[in-house]
Amino acid sequence: MLYLNFSNSRIRDMPYCHTVFQPIAPNEVESLLSTFTIENFVDGRAAYHLGNGSYSIDAGENDIRAIYDDEDEVVRFFCRHEKEMLRYEKKLKAFATKHGIKLSTSS
């Protein structure tokens, strides 16, 4: 399992989801993630870039984040709680299917 180590007010380890969106051009990332947020969360609003390189994509719930890998031009996702990963994996896959986004998986 891959983990992202990032800090807000303290260090947290968040497991990466297996679903990866690819390829995504840098100029499409924020729009794509905003569409995901608006379609999947009750208080859906635009995704926004955080200072640590990740994006807030869950309307302030702070349970799932996205990070853009500009070298590989992919968007990876990570969850705060491992027990929530399956629920978010389903949302990500359904969104990708609806919008014709190519998927890959990470282990």
CATH number at residue 66: 3.30.310
Q: Is residue 77 part of a domain?
A: yes
What gap in Å lies between CA 67 and CA 50, rounded to an integer? 10
What's the pLDDT at 23?
A: 92
Confidence of residue 9 (pLDDT cuts 50, 70, 90): very low
pTM: 0.81
Region 29-48: mean pLDDT is 90
pLDDT mean over 75-95: 91
- Find the domain containing 91 and state its range: 12-105
Flag whether 2 is in a domain: no
